[in-house]
Structures are given as structure tokens and as C-alpha cells.
Copies of this chain bind each other. A is one copy, B any other.
Amino acid sequence: MSNKLVGACIFGQSGGPTAVINASAYGVIRAALDAEEITKVYGAANGIKGVLEDKLYVMDEEDPEELKLLLHTPSSALGSCRYKIADPEKDDKDYKRILEIFKKYNVRYFFYNGGNDSMDTCNKISRYMESVGYECRIMGVPKTIDNDLYGTDHCPGFGSAAKYIATSCMEINKDARVYDNGMVTIVEIMGRHAGWLAASSALATEFGSGPDLIYLPEVDFDMDKFLDDVQRLYDANGKVLVAVSEGIHYADGSFVSEAKISATDGFGHAQLGGLAAMLAAIVKGRTGAKVRGIELSLLQRCGAHLASAVDIEEARMAGEEAVKQAVSGVTGKMIAFERDEVDGNYHCRIKLLPLDKVANFEKKIPLSWLNEERNGLKHEFIDYVLPLIQGEPKLPLEHSLPRYARLKKVLAK
């Protein structure tokens, strides 16, 4: 394989959006526009679906200043998808179509930004292109607020979500304690299988105003123990703030959010609100306290106004580095992060991981970072997460409201 490969590139975004996935997009697009080996830069509409449907935006047509605003525009500017690609050995229809599109536009570089499933997609496309002898360099750019990608110290998107969660929990905690009557507040935080996000609420507690109790999916949930924990603190302090991961589950693996709750527990039927509303009803039934359930919902993953400057810069860098590495000859790898200490300060270093080593594994919080009671975090976790939420970006504003990138999205013919 000669090192110099000339042709177009496609960039796509996949999976749930984050506050900084567009910062990675900017990193890729800017570096690709600047790379002389890359003749044209296409953005796929809605990830791999845009490739399959021949719906590609010509990024060369965009105003450079608008592109730069991607650094502070939340969600996926090009659109995302949750398309699960088949195994090429079982069904190669999609791959044939992708090859057809790659040939049509002379695509020699493919950059895909996403989580576990997206790295799996990358990996399969990479193997297929190799098997048919089509030269194309394929790189994965990590992204997930869930922070559960294997082999990387952390993931772009997580730091900003963690900062949003910690700040919001500090504010909620202040609000939930204003009256002199008893009050239990339950905050539901994203994270179906790993508790990194819910754990980040511990930052609020560390800095003076946060949850008293935190429950993560890393540990089997015990409803009786939970109710005892809440009751004890309620009796002692009158106020309790609880953070729960949406993914908490019983020992048999069933999600607490999906369990049927008997009428004696506060209600008798299918519930509409999420886990927070359900737990609130149960706690109210048990303690008689005033209870409020709060679901941070989409806000925690699209809160660009509270993004971490460190996270934005690392997300951008991951995108840029993917292009630089590919141009220099690398393929079949995901950009990953390694944590260094330089003069006692946090430093993030890029490393490359083979795509097949990343795909379909999930990284969880080490149990040794949880307290003895399994309802809070030790300082090891604070030390881990604190550097990732640092720095306040200078947000582009218009009338004191966010000014997001406005892309022309000119379709390739």
C-alpha cells in the first residue's frame, strides 16, 4: 500500500447526539478540507443511511465561519441514525451499495463518529473493503456521553454531560432545600448499562451541594436497601437528594424502570413518567414525605451552553487526528485517549485502537471506586472525572442566546 492515497472522503455521525459531536465533525471536516490528498469532503446525511441512500452534503460548499460554529452547536448537525448493519458474511447487500457509492464519488477515506455500534459498523465496512480489494482508509472517531467505550480513558461527550449533570444537581440541591418541611428529590440520569453519568453527580456533592445517595447499574439494585437508605437520611436531615442511573436493575437483570409495582407501593398500573416518577411514588408511599422526581432527559446530552472546554477541544482533536492518521496511511483504527500527567497536570494523549478491539465491548465503573454501601463514589472517581469538565468555552451568542452553525447542506449530485 503506497502511503499517498488521493480521493474524496465521507464523514458521518451516528448514535445519540452529544454536546460536542459537532466539535469532532469540525475537526474532521476542517482537517479534510485542508488535506491535499483529500479532493472533496462529503458529509453523510444521517450517518451510514446517507451513504446507502446517496444523500451526501458537499462540505466544501460551506462557509468556513459557519463550520467553525460547529464547535458550539449541540446534537448532530448532519443528522444521525441507529442503523444496524448486517454481518457481511451473512448479507452483503448494504456493503455492495456502500462500495458502489464509494466508487461513484471516488471515496478513499471514511470517518465515522459514534459509539460502540458505530465502531462495529466501521469495522465491518473496513473488513469488507479489504476483502474486495477496494483501497479505502477507514477511521472511527469516538463519541458517547455514556463513556462506556472500551480501550479509551474517556470519550468525547462525556465531560460536557458530566459538567451539565454536576451543575444541575448543585442547583437542584439548593432549590430542594428551601422550605423547612421534609422533602425527597430523585434525579434520573442517563446511562443504561454503565453509571458514569449518574456517578458524575458526585462532583456536586464533592463541591458542597449534591446528592446524598447515588445508585448505579454497576451494582444490583435492592429496593429495600434503597428505601432504608432514604428513610434513614430523611429521618436525620429532613431533606434527601438521590441520583439514580436510568439503568439500575435488580439481581435478575430486569430494569427497575420496567418492573411492575404493586398498588401498595403507591400506584397500581403502568406508569408513564420514567424511573424518577416511579421511585418518587414508591418513596412517598413509604416515607409519607413530599417527593419530587426529576428526569434530566435530553437536556443532559445537548447542554452545549455548559460544555467543558476540555471536552470540546479533545473532541475536535480526535476528529482532526483521525484525518491526519488516515492521510499518513493508517486504517481500521479508532482514535482513543490516554491520560498522562505532565508536571502534575492532566494531559490527554491520542492513541490508536484496532476497531475490532473496541466494537461491542462496554466499559463500566470499577467497583472499587464505589463506597462500601454502594450508594456513593470514592475520591478515585472524582480524581478521574474532574479534569474532564474543566474550562468554560467562549460561546458564540446572538441576543444572549446560542448562535448555532447554519449549514447550507448542498447535496452532491
Contact surface of A with B, Cβ cutoff 8 Å = 16-17, 45-46, 49, 73-76, 79-82, 163, 166-168, 170-172, 174-180, 185, 203-204, 207-209, 267-274, 277-278, 280-281, 292-299, 301-306, 308, 386, 389-392, 397-404, 406
Contact A167 B305 (CB under 8 A): yes
Among B292, B302, B392, which residue has its beta carbon within 8 angstroms of that of A400? B392
Contact B79 A179 (CB under 8 A): yes
Bound-state CA distance A295–B298 (Å) is 10
Among B281, B301, B392, B406, which residue has its beta carbon within 8 angstroms of that of A272? B281
Bound-state CA distance A272–B292 (Å) is 11
Contact B386 A392 (CB under 8 A): no
Contact B17 A80 (CB under 8 A): no
Contacts of A303 in B (CB 8 A): 171
Among B73, B178, B390, which residue has its beta carbon within 8 angstroms of that of A174? B73
Contacts of A304 in B (CB 8 A): 171
Bound-state CA distance A76–B274 (Å) is 29
Contacts of A168 in B (CB 8 A): 299
- Taking the closest CB of chain B, its distance from the CB of A405, in whole angstroms, is 10
Contacts of A386 in B (CB 8 A): 399
Contact residues of A: prevailing secondary structure: loop
Among B74, B170, B401, which residue has its beta carbon within 8 angstroms of that of A404? B170
Bound-state CA distance A73–B391 (Å) is 20
Q: What 13 new A-B contacts, CB under 8 Å, besides A75-B178, A168-B299, A185-B298?
A: A46-B179, A75-B171, A75-B175, A75-B177, A82-B179, A166-B401, A175-B302, A207-B398, A208-B404, A271-B272, A273-B274, A273-B277, A389-B401
Bound-state CA distance A211–B250 (Å) is 38
- Taking the closest CB of chain B, its distance from the CB of A313, in whole angstroms, is 14
Instruction: Name which residue of chain B comes closest to A15, CB basis.
Output: B178
Contacts of A277 in B (CB 8 A): 272-273, 277
- Taking the closest CB of chain B, its distance from the CB of A210, in whole angstroms, is 10
Contact A397 B401 (CB under 8 A): no
Contact B172 A76 (CB under 8 A): no
Among B179, B308, B398, which residue has its beta carbon within 8 angstroms of that of A81? B179
Contact A171 B305 (CB under 8 A): yes
Instruction: Name which residue of chain B comes closest to A209, CB basis.
Output: B404
- Taking the closest CB of chain B, its distance from the CB of A227, in whole angstroms, is 17
Contacts of A272 in B (CB 8 A): 267, 271-273, 277-278, 280-281, 293
- Taking the closest CB of chain B, its distance from the CB of A72, in whole angstroms, is 11
Instruction: Give 10 nearest A-B pairs by CB, closest first.
Output: A273-B273, A75-B174, A175-B302, A269-B269, A272-B277, A171-B302, A80-B178, A76-B178, A75-B175, A272-B273
Among B203, B280, B400, which residue has its beta carbon within 8 angstroms of that of A401? B203
- Taking the closest CB of chain B, its distance from the CB of A3, in whole angstroms, is 36
Bound-state CA distance A79–B293 (Å) is 21
Contacts of A270 in B (CB 8 A): 267, 269
Known: A209-B404, A404-B174, A404-B209. A292 touches B298 (CB 8 A): yes
Contact B46 A208 (CB under 8 A): no
Bound-state CA distance A207–B404 (Å) is 10
- Taking the closest CB of chain B, its distance from the CB of A144, in whole angstroms, is 14
Contacts of A73 in B (CB 8 A): 174
- Taking the closest CB of chain B, its distance from the CB of A389, in whole angstroms, is 5
- Taking the closest CB of chain B, its distance from the CB of A85, in whole angstroms, is 16
Contacts of A174 in B (CB 8 A): 17, 73-75, 302, 404
Q: List 16 A-B contacts (CB under 8 A).
A: A79-B178, A167-B305, A167-B401, A170-B404, A171-B402, A175-B298, A175-B302, A176-B298, A207-B403, A269-B269, A272-B273, A272-B278, A292-B298, A295-B295, A299-B299, A389-B399
Contact A172 B302 (CB under 8 A): yes
Contacts of A171 in B (CB 8 A): 74-75, 298-299, 302-305, 402
